[in-house]
Structure 1
């Protein structure tokens, strides 16, 4: 393969791992940010949820808009916007400014994530496209394994503010590589009139309202008038969106695909699988630092083992599922993940670091076994001319599942911390807190993991139903 093609894919791979480093650094830094700004868990969760809601609401609309302008220009603009948000977030004087700039960064990250595979598909000769795409997916899998450890090291040595600035500096290097090595790409032939603008607006409002409904029902009450009105508005928007999209020749979301069992059950499995996985990734760094008292580097190392399991299993299942079918890998993977979640819930009072790390590896291994075969099952159920839109849809399902999981974890934990005989803010909790306070968090953590394991068992059942 021509060396120029490696130069094209290198900044793309580097970009993907920059944003993985940003995400994992934020996850591990949550306890430090909570302590610095004296935050409740409810408010702290918005640091991550703000990015999730942007990516969930804008993924498919931005994907359509990207077809209207120069692809290289769009990619560079998205990259600069993302880095702008990351760097300015490091100077945040309060949590609201931090959330604002993380939201801006998420808009740019959404644009770059859409364009990564497009760049390879457009610039690589057809006979090398598979190799180019495999380079990206393998590099991302390795990034998922390594970036938590790197993020932990940066946080231990420099703190979260300087960690963001280091990430921003590395990203500037990526912008320069993109200018130098990524060639100009022709703009695709898309008519502006074909854009489903109304469908995009429906979608943005629906997903935004959805996150508000599930993230903070306690502040205004589950059965309050305000919460009930939001649920009614959400239901009405879903109905109107469905009726409108069914009449469109080029809908933003094709509802006819749900008539296909593999598409329907594969989507359910994907949604519930990422709900369970995101619960674990959101809560465990807080648990390990706040309750167990581990350092950020140690937490990053544990997440490294989880990522290692994902990489190993992905390499196995990706190849063998073509030969033996996807079902054995998706069902087994989710069963392993659900069992690991359930076992983790029993470690709170008798914590053993070795067993905890082993269970995180098993969870990661299960996710790795399931992920690629699940995508393959859904994609194999549709026509080739829908591959692009359905690939965006699969990313959308992942983002929705992640958002739901994080919101679920935060809500359950807040219930335990605020509705008991003794109440506590997360910023006040550490490994030396009174037993009454620690038990509030531990009981909430255990309950959340048990619920997440049930959700992942549902994902395994949905995988079994996927043909």
Structure 2
């Protein structure tokens, strides 16, 4: 089945654990990007004299570029081989980091990030498949647990390391300093991952039109939200984007109903538990995406902390999942997913509300405490909700459900970023003092209003969880 293995020189290490090291390193490096870029946005605004709505697209372009081609790239990987696709993705990301480091404007940086995101999508489309193929069934749960630990560490460390780099070497270092690590990953992947020759390309029908329509609909809704805060929701451009979204979504539904291998299996949404899980995931990710975007502005320009200190303060929000995620999983196994998912969601939004209520002279311990409360809520919600989604679809639809889960996570976070950026820009402009720069208008009051809007938009996720039907299990 496999040919070309290069592990003969290291017989003492089983292939599955060598593979785990490579994929874990890839996940760690990939997930760190979000935090490192988020913590850099206030500095990029200052350097290029830009605004929150514009620089938000440095993150949004990466989300869109990663999510939209996932299904298509998964099909291509089955055709040309997962190892080749994985390594090609690493090479594209590495080149993207190098070009990002020398970008001379925000639009240039956004374009480079969009291309780089395609490489990230190639990695994400293959890591779970490689992991599943490399581990026997009795070890796959353990492998997924280790992989998720790498994701949690990457999320937290991205903010911390990004802040340190900004204070010591400048924002460009966020990109060029990671190039050697990605080159090492490419070498390890080439030497360790076993060759696979791919499948018969005629065995799977590619839903290219569905992929294009999904990407277009995602971009139009993000543009509508993003620009509404900058130029007003009744301005011609946001209205045009809303109209385009209204047109694209029904077309996408019609195309997917007729597709032989649809990118969106609409039949899954007939399951009330699945639909509830996907909707609640979307709304809770809006909260997380909005917080991740706003936190650096709040801590750096609102509270006056350095980038390094801001990254350290944000760290507990993500690292606390190493403690509470297993608890959320155990609670879901024992009592069902509804109670821990709803409780986690309430804790997340309640913690974010407490953060928005803090006075401008709040002590550091109080800021860290409220951030930890919000992070623990998300940590409990995620495993419980994911268990509900994956445990209540037919076995034959597990791959589709997994793709939906990744897609809803990315789309929700993107909407949260777009909404937060639009609100931050809107309230900052309203409070602008004559002669003051954009950065000088970024107060804690601006942050609080923007975060409250994000919380309000996410609140609907709680009744969606509570309305969840009886869990039926896999069939």
Q: CA deviation at 1:162?
A: 2.1
Q: Does 1:339 align with 2:350?
A: yes
In structure 2, the CA distance between the partners of 1:250 and 1:426, relative to structure 1 (3 Å rule), is farther
Q: State the partner residue of 2:105.
A: 94
Mark the CA change 1:232 to 1:10 in structure 2 (over 3 Å): closer, same or farther.
same
Q: CA deviation at 1:238?
A: 1.1
The alignment partner of 2:243 has SS state of helix
Alignment partner of 1:263: what SS?
helix
3-state SS of the aligned residue for 1:191?
helix
Distance in 2 (alpha carbons) for counterparts of 1:385 and 1:167: 39
- 1:193-342 equivalences in 2 (<5 Å): 194-342=205-353
Q: What residue in structure 2 maps to residue 466 of structure 1?
A: 468
1:357 aligns with one of 357, 368, 386: 368
The 1:83/1:421 distance shift into structure 2, 3 A limit, reads closer
Matched, 1:393 2:395: no
2:56 to 32, 39, 45: 45
Alignment of 1:55-94 (within 5 A): 55-94=66-105
Aligned pairs (5 A) from 1:3-152: 3-152=14-163
Deviation at 1:223, TM superposition (A): 2.2
Is this contact kept in 2: 1:305–1:360, CA < 8 A? yes
The Cα shift of 1:215 comes to 1.2
Shift of the 290–426 alpha-carbon distance from structure 1 to 2, 3 Å rule, reads farther
* Deviation sequence 1:339-391 (CA, Å, 0-9, x none): 11111111143422211111111111100000011111111221111111211
Cα deviation, residue 457, structure 1 = 3.2
CA contact (8 A) 1:39 1:425 kept: no
Structure 1 residue 403 and structure 2 residue 414: aligned? yes
Structure 1 counterpart SS, 2:24: helix
Go from structure 1 to structure 2 and tell me whether the alpha carbon gap of 1:406 and 1:216 turns closer, same or farther (over 3 Å shift). same
CA contact (8 A) 1:40 1:425 kept: no
Deviations 1:188-212 (A, max 9, x none): 3452761112222222222222221
Indicate which of 194, 207, 217 corresponds to 1:183: 194
Q: Is the 8 A contact 1:310 1:366 kept in 2?
A: no
Alpha-carbon RMSD across the aligned residues, in angstroms, is 2.0
Aligned residue pair count: 458
Q: More deviation in 53-62 or 329-338?
A: 53-62
Output the CA distance in 1 between the equivalents of 2:310 and 2:257.
47
What's the offset of the Cα at 1:276?
A: 0.8
Q: Give structure 1 stretches of 5+ with no counterpart.
A: 430-436
Tell me if structure 2 keeps the 8 A contact 1:40–1:426: no
Rounded Cα–Cα distance in structure 2 between residues aligned with 1:85 and 1:193: 31
CA shift for structure 1 position 219: 4.9
- Maintained 8 Å contact 1:34/1:426: no
TM-score relative to the length of structure 2: 0.91
Determine the C-alpha separation between the residues in 1 that align with 2:49 and 2:432: 22
**Separation in structure 1 between the aligned mates of residue 434 and residue 203 of structure 2, nearest angstrom:** 55
Which residue in 1 is equivalent to 2:448? Answer: 446
